[in-house]
Amino acid sequence: MTQPQTFSIASIPGDGIGGEVVAAGLRVLDTIAKQSEGTVEFEVTEYPWSSEYYLKNGRYIPEGGLEELEKHDAIYFGAVGSADVPDHTSLWGLRLAITQPFDQWANIRPVTFLPGVESPLRKADDTELDWIVVRENSEGEYAGMGGRNLSGRGPGNEVALQTSLHTEKGCERIIRFAFDIARTRDVKKVSSVTKSNAQQYGMVLWDEVFVRVAQDYPDVETESVLVDAMSAKFVLYPEQLSVVVASNLHADILSDLGSALAGSLGLAASANLNPERRFPSMFEPVHGSAPDIAGQGISNPIGAISSAALMLDQFGLTAEADRVRRAIENATRAGILPRDLGGESNTVEMTEAIVAQLEA
Ligand code: GGG
């Protein structure tokens, strides 16, 4: 008998609704493994790192935690954020404490319009729209450089500095990555986003690198758009978009806008990739911990399940990834929708509807 292909996954449910959406994605992976008739296996190890863990232990990731994660083929992450911990402490303590040392410099965030889902941009049966936001995920506004109380002049006079770091190599690798994705798409176009009229150093460097890299891709159409104009374009001319590449902060904001335009933040998937594969990549829904609905079992699992499909892509299981995407589409087309999309299905019911489509 041939040996199964075994993939080792570190799961980090994290905070709030992270646990229920990660469980949904793992249920779908389990179905894929069962249907493979012994050819594919997923070994899942759960790490209980969360804000609750931080409040007990004083840190999100224990000593040796990153070395532990490094043993896995991929990381499946839920969400981070809690009312009991300042947001910058939780983000830097868990999510960025993984993406940065593992050099997961490419964050892809597809904006997917599903059948049966009405959105501010279109009716449920309108023609398809889809584009991908490519987020620079290692530097830019998230370089963590700066300081506080720099005036040294006491209360009421505090000065804080937050520096954006844009390296030529960092710009080049993410822009090339975006062009390479564009080449695989029907519409071969890359839109580069900056605010280089106001930010005259780093973002001008980005624009210059974009023009230089574009010369290596004469088959790909290009445009450079300021982030404010791009926000308007997302709403007014979404059919003009294919691949949108932007800095860490701009792409984070634009991808939230994109998923809201597609119907809900709960739909959005993401992959934090280390394309060189020196470190494991991390897959997570774009949404956060949603403390307002945590514990009620009503969160939308589609973003997390679509993120699991991106993980399957990275494992080379592209047919299985496509099957998961089709199962999601078939479920929403049949009118089975979670609460945030106006439906009545809770997290488990939505997940089981997707599993039923996989099994159909
Ligand atoms: N699943 C993604 C997540 O938990 N995100 C929390 C967050 O606040 N992210 C902000 C960011 O990554 O810039």
What does DSSP say about strands 40-46 and 5-14: parallel, antiparallel, or unpaired? parallel
Asked if residue 252 has its Cβ within 6 Å of ligand 1, the reply is: yes
- Calculate mean pLDDT across residues 256-282: 97
Q: Which helix (H) or strand (E) holds 44?
A: strand 40-46
Structure tokens at 344: 């009545």
Q: What is the pLDDT of residues 35-50, one digit of tens each?
A: 999 999 999 999 999 9
Last residue of a domain, one of 237, 262, 287: 262
- Calculate mean pLDDT across residues 261-280: 97
Are 233 and 345 contained in the same domain?
no
Residue 125 has what pLDDT? 59
Are 272 and 258 contained in the same domain?
no
| Cα dist from 99 to 50, 55, 111, 138, 296, whole Å | 16, 22, 21, 7, 29
The C-alpha atoms of residue 162 and residue 164 are separated, in whole angstroms, by 7
Catalytic residue among 73, 103, 256, 313: 256
For residue 87, the enclosing domain spans 1-108+268-360
Residue 27 pLDDT greater than 80, yes or no: yes
pLDDT band at 15 (very low <50, low <70, confident <90, very high): very high
Q: Whose CA is nearest to atom 1 of ligand 1?
A: 79
For residue 248, give the CATH number of its domain.
3.40.718.10
Asked if residue 13 has its Cβ within 6 Å of ligand 1, the reply is: no
Residue 195: active-site member:
yes
Residue 20 pLDDT greater than 80, yes or no: yes
Q: What is the pLDDT of residues 103-156, one digit of tens each?
A: 999 999 999 999 999 888 865 556 678 999 999 999 999 999 999 887 787 788
Test site for ligand 1: of 20, 80, 133, 256, most ligand atoms within 8 A of the Cβ: 80
Q: Is 274 inside any structural domain?
A: yes
Count the domains in the chain: 2
Query: Is residue 38 exposed (0-12), middle (13-18) or buried (19+ Cβ within 10 Å)?
Result: exposed
Are 155 and 64 contained in the same domain?
no
Q: Is 113 inside any structural domain?
A: no
Residue 84: active-site member:
no
pLDDT band at 195 (very low <50, low <70, confident <90, very high): very high
Tokens 């992976």, residue located: 29
